[in-house]
Amino acid sequence: MIFKSRELRLLSLAIFALIIIFAFYTFEPLSLIRTPTAAKHTDPSAPDAVDTNTTALPDSADPSSKSQSSADPSDPSDPSNLAPSSSRERLDASNVVMVTASSGNRGMLGIPHLKEQVYENRMAYAIRHGYEFMWANISSYNLSHGEAIYWNKIPILQEAFIRYPEVEWVWWMDMDIIIMNQSLSMWDHVLSPEGMARNAVLDTVINKPGGGPSGWKTLPTYNCSEVNFMIASGGWGMNIGNFLMRRSDWSEWLLDLWIDPFYIDKFKVFPENDGWTHMYRHHPIVRKHTLCTNQRALNAYPDFNPLGDHWHPGDHSVHFAGCGGHERCPGEWAKYWKLKKSYEVPALVKQKLEDGTAEIENVKKGVGLPTGVNKDAVAR
């Protein structure tokens, strides 16, 4: 009887030891226990608070980017706070479409073979960096009430997003631009967090068309993931001859607003440019998602042009804005064509120029759109 009692005590001690060992190896501190998703909350009083537990689209009053971030935008120079919505690999893998448009006049600016040179210049750049290229016949996008042809830019942009559903950025360039530095990709130049920080112009007075301070400023700070529009600010304010627009609900909304009949009726001197300026000045939601760069980053001028900062060697491009039919345009264009950094023209581009198959003004409104798309999404 005593022997059995001793065995029971030993057995109890063994069981107790096993319990202690088991508890030691399976215990998880409360700080490591995952909080149930339903219990998470964000502070609605905090600026730009983001609830990471919801996938709802932005409020209709703020049609902002589909790729939102909860990063603190207080330090725009810190890339960790400004993580872009796309990775470097995605942008480098053909995530930009370059868009150009012209009217069918073969003698623009009085420069012989201008369009062939522009085609060579932009196709070489697009192939080098893996971008798409779209050259629209701007006359085919005429609006239904005889509006000035300048407004055709908006339906072309709308169609670019439809024709290239995989790209994130649509990059508009007027015809009168030469890419001077082919080695500089748009990612490294302005689209990466480092590029944005290097070229952003913050809390600075914007000039009005014609020059002189307008009384309103660029953003004091920004969040990289919320930047949906990039444009240069300079001597004559913002020139929409060269800008980038990111695919987002905000961009879709902006293009719809930009073509409003009120703007078409009101702005006659610099039609679509004045429309853009009006939106930026009077709509905080437009300013919130627009990053202004220094002028030379996106809109440097040739040295004879008094509109603003002039091109320097190494700058990305030069814009012959306002050149029109001026008698000095052909000579100035030829001068800068020689000043551009040399680059190899792909054999395919040479062949297309030689045999007349180059895609110059080949895109026409509504022709060749993907099946099933809503054509009402394009202004008419």
pLDDT at residue 200, as a whole number = 97
pLDDT at residue 35, as a whole number = 30
pLDDT tens-digit readout, 115-149: 999 999 999 999 999 999 999 999 999 988 888 89
pLDDT at residue 208, as a whole number = 82
pLDDT at residue 228, as a whole number = 97
Mapped to the 3 state alphabet, what secondary structure does the chain carry?
Answer: CHHHHHHHHHHHHHHHHHHHHHHHHHCCCHHHCCCCHHHCCCCCCCCCCCCCCCCCCCCCCCCCCCCCCCCCCCCCCCHHHCCCCCCHHHHHCCCEEEEEEECCCCCHHHCCCHHHHHHHHHHHHHHHHCCEEEEEEHHHHCCCCCCCHHHHHHHHHHHHHHHCCCCCEEEEECCCEEECCCCCCHHHHHHCHHHHHHHECCCCEEECCCCCEEEEECCCCCCHHHCCEEEEEECCEEEEEEEEEECCHHHHHHHHHHCCHHHHHHCCCCHHHHHHHHHHHHCHHHHHCEEEEEHHHHCCECCCCCCCCECCCCCCEEECCCCCCCCCHHHHHHHHHHHCCCCCCCHHHHHHHHHCCCCCCCECCCCCCCCCCCHHHCCC
> pTM, whole model, 2 decimals?
0.76
pLDDT at residue 312, as a whole number = 97
User: In the chain, which stretches have pLDDT less than 70?
Assistant: 1-94, 104-109, 324-325, 375-377, 379-380
pLDDT at residue 186, as a whole number = 95
